[in-house]
Amino acid sequence: MTIITLELGHYRLQEQIGRSAYGVIWRASGPASTRDVALKFINHEQMEKAGPGLRERWIASAQNEIGFLQALEPWDERHIVRLLDSGWHQELPVLALELLACDLGKHMQQLKSRQEAIPLPRLLEWTSQINQALAKVHQYGWRYLDLKPANVLLDWGLQNVKLADFGTNRHGLHAELHSYAGTANWQAPEQFFPQPQGSYQSSASSDYFSLGAMFYYLVTGGTPLQFCADLGAAYRAHNTAGASVILQASGGTLPATLHEDEAARFCAALPTHARDNALLLLRCLLHPDPAQRPRHAIQISRMLHAIQGMPHERNYLEVTDPVRGMRRPTAANGWQTMRSA
């Protein structure tokens, strides 16, 4: 039985519970009287096949994730997965993370197979919690850039969600151009379609587009946006050159991010009283122009409240981000006192 030694303790591997091109997740038992953990390794088999540049990028991504999670204050882990330990194994970084029940993608597949829908209050609560998690990422001065169902974990009671997998995080909310980052099926246009010089310019609002894609996915019972599905297919067939293929097929213009038949399907899945405000939020999140998307998490929180018929009260402490609500300095505002939203 394999035992992995990290900085704070020893972990006995039990079973593999997840796998991707980048990482492998194992359930492991930790020190006595502690709960099982999820050990995240870099995929060693893929690592041996990869070129030096890809190996360096994967190691840097793992170290990036460790650094971000270590920087969080304990009270900031409510909707972000907790890092319990870290270290090295076979000269590669390893993370010990809190073990949760399943990811949102798998849960949605189970619901779909049983022809069950998520009740609207729970759907809105999960969306609110994801918004809170993104607010924390942005508060620390980062962009997440990889929001997708597989990176949203559910607790054992299926009441709360937590954001996981921070290897794609990029520092700076409006930083310099960068290389391709994220998962095509869930990306904002600016993440998939490069600037003229071939690099990409994302921002915190890129995460809000992905939140809109997630919102549509949840409301429609696991149906992806056509825009995102097309991006994913183009990337699988052509890698990053898929951007030019899509633009050529659409006459050089950006395809619609939300089609009218999709808007109708989205509304049909909602109670009548919630449709107008929910569609308003969806269109705002999925706006092709990043500058036209919500300015911050508080605005999204207010729009979620409106869907539930909850009036916004002035001087109300926003549940989306208590730190911002209390006007505390943050990385996002250069550690200066927040002005009123």
- 38/185 same-domain check: no
Tell me what pLDDT residue 19 has: 84
Single residue among 98, 119, 146 that ends a domain in this structure: 98
Residues 208 and 296 in one domain: yes
- Give me the number of domains the chain comprises: 2
Domain that holds residue 202: 102-333
**Which segments of 18-142 does DSSP mark as H helices, in order?**
44-49, 52-71, 104-113, 120-139
Residue 262 belongs to some domain of the structure: yes
Residue 54 lies inside a defined structural domain of this protein: yes
Asked if 24 and 161 sit in the same domain, the reply is no
Q: What is the pLDDT of residue 174?
A: 74
Closest Cα partner for 202 from 152, 259, 145, 253? 145
* Maximum distance among all Cα pairs of the chain, rounded to whole angstroms: 62
| pLDDT confidence of residue 55 | 79
The answer to the question of residue 340 being in a domain is: no
Q: From CA 115, how far away is CA 14, in angstroms rounded?
A: 33
φ, ψ of residue 337 to 5 degrees: the values are: -60, 130
Residues 128, 86 share a domain: no
* CB-facing half-sphere around the CA of 112: CA atoms within 13 A: 13
Same domain, 80 and 158: no
In angstroms, rounded to a whole number, what is the distance separating the alpha carbons of residues 142 and 137? Answer: 6
pLDDT of residue 311: 62
* Total count of residues recorded for the chain: 341
Does one domain contain both 92 and 109?
no
Which CATH number characterizes residue 91's domain? 3.30.200.20
**pTM to 2 decimal places:** 0.88
Report residue 128 as tokens: 């609110």
Q: Is residue 153 part of a domain?
A: yes
Last residue of a domain, one of 98, 130, 157: 98
Q: What is the pLDDT of residues 274-323, one digit of tens each?
A: 999 999 999 999 999 999 999 999 999 999 999 998 765 554 434 444 44
Q: In the chain, which stretches have pLDDT less than 50? A: 315-341
Q: Is residue 338 part of a domain?
A: no
What is the structure's pLDDT at 101?
A: 94
| Burial of 1: CB neighbours in 10 Å, binned 0-12, 13-18, 19+ | exposed
**Whether 111 and 33 share a structural domain:** no
Residue 339 domain flag: no
Mean pLDDT estimate for the chain? 88
Last residue of a domain, one of 67, 98, 129: 98
Question: What CATH code is carried by the domain that includes residue 222?
Answer: 1.10.510.10
Asked if residue 90 is part of any domain, the answer here is: yes
